[in-house]
A and B are shown apart, each in its own frame.
Chain A
């Protein structure tokens, strides 16, 4: 599996679901399982309330640390990425603007930390950073934040592309008309290249690349972790609807965690014709590498869904 895709052989396994369903444990188990099967794995926690340090019983930071053979882990400090980004915007604004305008804008930029949309953008920046830097891995396993933030993360490329397309059309129309005015007034002198349009195109390429990656079932798997209980199942149904809306349904993979033998019913059209993989409820806490690998030794057949 680790070298099947020719262009970019890396695969990205997202684990998301309702809070408390065991996304972090499932992603840690998946990372250990894949590493044991010979893949070079980076386990990356994007959940602001990180659990991987508890699961592996050691502190993590943004710098990937070796946890076991072929397995490294890191926890993303989303605040760091937002700060870094806003600092760079501030610097650019200060350089580009006249003093009086920049003076007023500074006040706005200071409150942007808590502006809607910034949180998920911090996660996108972090994800893109690790994607760019971590070239020597086979699989990146991503422990996602709770549903709301995870869905915002997955929606952002599509939402941004809609805005970019609209703004780009408007900007091109403006430039076309400006060109006509110039031609009438100045007789054919060429206009300068529009930097705003250039930046819009650049942003379009950034999000298009991300949208393509997230929507490519050969590269991306979004594991929907749920438990055999009503609230968890209902939230999974809503996540599926959300992912269908943004055309990521081809990448959806259900995963029943903490299976107890208790019966549960999924809507028949949710994952038609698919067997839902089950991870049983562990009879002991899954903390530390030994416990994780011990569980995997007992349940390794159940993890084979990761290799399909």
Chain B
């Protein structure tokens, strides 16, 4: 507990690499991509195979019709991964953007592992572009080199005399030319080059521009295919009745009334409850409503969330484990001329993606086909195989567009996938396709929430107003404990509980960050920006209180302690400048600033709020500055910042899942409020120019939004926010 520096923050890369070798997640063996049983539901993929004559690697195919099909190992859940992936590969390939198609990769960690995760295939931690960057540039560059060699061979000229533009190879000006499609057959017979020279950033034609999203048309005319849209011959629909309390199980059930509903085919019991399998959603829904189940809740979580928070508050004063130690914070606080302290309470949060969870499973004795907006392909494959009693190689996953996720579809237990497989198995594993459909109530009640957290902070200031000490105690549930990702926990510290806090960027001589990990029966999961969804709030809202106590401007106080953090400082300064920091605002309005790093992306935001006489908070404007390395597609970066701000704002204003005697008190979007159109602030996004390797943008925009708004509320009203959510402050 003393002066040794204790950096317990493995990188996300280390974390997932270790998770991959933890043993509980079976690794997968490769599939042949093509083949009659391997058909993909997505219409986009059916046209390519016929004309695909050049497949230089596992990421691209070129057809004789010049179409370029990029194979995406990452899920497209709105974050723009398909477009980003295609952009990077197409850049080095020098192809016409209009010819580019994207298709999802099968589950195969050998070819499609997330390199930031080690040996797992999956999407998360805002890693899609960061881990694909070099891999896909090389894939595109090598394919291009082979097409050039093909032209050189055909025309008997040196490669050096050739030029390429938008999928066409030219010789001697434009005297002789051939399209990639015309060269594909020849290129296919050539060896793959061992290495390739990648473009200099100054030569980029697509990267840094705004090519339209590859999914924008299908998502504007209703043709984009989500899991809910899958229709297979003879397919049935299942709804599952789950226990009302976490940890309860089925004691007995009476299927009579449910079976009597027209269209209901079968009632089956599975580990997670009782499923009604029917010919339509409506029949399954009516059947489930009629189902009578007696539950055994002897092992269930029966506490209320208020009681759990009471326990957390007490734990904050008990010994905890060190997550970070610099100097001696305890002594420095004793020596401080002034101290500041505050605590913060964060509720459980549901992800509530617009598409309620769903999966289609077709299971027989020797194969299991799964259609889903699948985010953890090889984990889901392993869990599905275990549930079905098959080998992972016998489980084939068709990844479709996901109607949002925000982390929900990436769960180590593969909850909804396992449910669907267990229902198909209980049904008889006879090859009947079954679609498991969750309702919104299932989603809100379904657990795997962002954990509840309690934070207690104390700071010490010198007589001159210098920040000398920082103590931070975090109390809450571990996301990874008890999962195959538990390898992440080092010396008792789950890094997803302390990221954004243990690595506080400010130059403070004495720092102590402690973690007290709790246990509850409420299942929890990562939620957009993971630990920083609460740590960034606690750190940045409290930092504002400290600045105020020191009598300093909150922007200047931050900047002065970020001299050694150039990228963080730069976004802070950019946001402040663009927002007109320091310029006067009318009465009832306030401006707040916050900055955060998440997944190696730096984001600062300035929020402007109005608070009316009733204390109602309205966010008018958010100015956002982001440094995510090389901006691959500035329009998608802006979209992710805008979306992260709206998502984060809904959560801090309204988001709370609460339990009363173990029962979830919210059911749908009435009780679990999210942001709506009339509450969306004006957002301006400014991107820092950079040639550093790209980092992610799906999550980091969420981190500074809450504290920026809370700090703005203080500026407008003099009131601090310590309990979330807060749509109003007391008018007193």
Q: Answer yes or no: are A and B bound together in one complex.
A: no
Name A residues whose Cβ lies closer than 8 Å to a Cβ of B: none
B positions within 8 Å CB-CB of A:
none
